[in-house]
Amino acid sequence: DAGITQSPRHKVTETGTPVTLRCHQTENHRYMYWYRQDPGHGLRLIHYSYGVKDTDKGEVSDGYSVSRSKTEDFLLTLESATSSQTSVYFCAISASGGSYNEQFFGPGTRLTVL
Amino acid sequence: DQQVKQNSPSLSVQEGRISILNCDYTNSMFDYFLWYKKYPAEGPTFLISISSIKDKNEDGRFTVFLNKSAKHLSLHIVPSQPGDSAVYFCAASASQGAQKLVFGQGTRLTINP
């Protein structure tokens, strides 16, 4: 199994509070991704990183920001959480970009915004 | 606009028989397709993939078929086993820079003894 951990695994917070989710990898992979999973939508890409300090937006980036100061860590921040951000968040890594490279997923973080 | 669609939310199959999961896509730029399996409270795990230069890829009990003209792919599991009960996601990407996967909604497969 790819060495990917996510913290926290579960979090309950209130509307308007900031929240940071952490993804940590031990594979030294260049690419890291944040997805959210919601019923009826599958997984949707929020942000991704193609190197330290190099990030870009995905399909559903509004309300989220990311940072990557080290190869092994990719942080997802909800500046002011809303109930629509209640979801399960997955981090993924891949050795390289482009096609023909599968992504490996972490165990997920279940976030509830009240 | 859902670029990758799995139109069957659920599928029930008897143990030992063939399971066929289907996926359709609309974006002709997609050139790599993957299937992931997901158990409750776990992250998706990679199962099998296929590039657009092929029409079939096999790995043990799992075979993925790609029909580019119909923009359709399917995953065949033979024979189906109880441990195959899970949610299956198909995903697609285009070979441009970072691999931004676009997922279908998922199909819940239940294998009955």
Is A71 touching B (CB cutoff 8 A)? no
Question: A99, B93: Cβ pair inside 8 Å?
Answer: yes
The residues facing A113 across adjacent strands are A13
What pLDDT band is residue B97 in, cutting at 50, 70 and 90? low
Task: Establish if A16 touches chain B: CB-CB under 8 angstroms.
Answer: no
How many cross-chain Cβ pairs, A to B, lie less than 8 Å apart? 74
Provide the sign of the torsion angle of the four alpha carbons B51, B21, B6, B90, taken in this order: negative
B32 to A99: CB separation less than 8 angstroms, yes or no = yes
Name every residue whose Cβ is closer than 8 Å to that of residue B69 and which is 6 or more positions away in sequence. none
pLDDT band at A95, cuts 50/70/90? confident
DSSP string of B46-103? EEEEEETT-SEEEETTEEEEEETTTTEEEEEESS--GGG-EEEEEEEE-SSSS---EE
The pLDDT, as a whole number, for residue A97 is: 61
Q: For position A38, what pLDDT does the model report?
A: 94
Tell me the per-residue pLDDT of A31-87, one tens digit each, with 9 for 90 and over. 999 999 998 889 999 999 999 999 999 999 999 999 999 999 999 999 999 999 999
In chain B, % of residues over pLDDT 90: 88
A-chain CB neighbours of B32 within 8 Å are 99-100
Q: Taking all residues of chain A, what is their mean pLDDT, rounded to a whole number?
A: 93
A51 vs chain B: nearest CA distance in angstroms? 11
User: Which residues in chain B have their CB less than 8 angstroms from residue A98's CB?
Assistant: 95-99
List B residues 55-94 in contact with A (Cβ-Cβ < 8 A).
89, 91, 93-94
Of the candidates B63, B99, B95, which has an alpha carbon nearest to the alpha carbon of residue A104? B99
Residues in B touching A107 (Cβ below 8 Å) = 41-43
- Which residues in chain B touch residue A93, judged by CB atoms under 8 angstroms apart? none
Q: What is the pLDDT of residues B46-96, one digit of tens each?
A: 999 999 999 999 999 999 999 999 999 999 999 999 999 999 999 998 866
pLDDT for position A98: 58
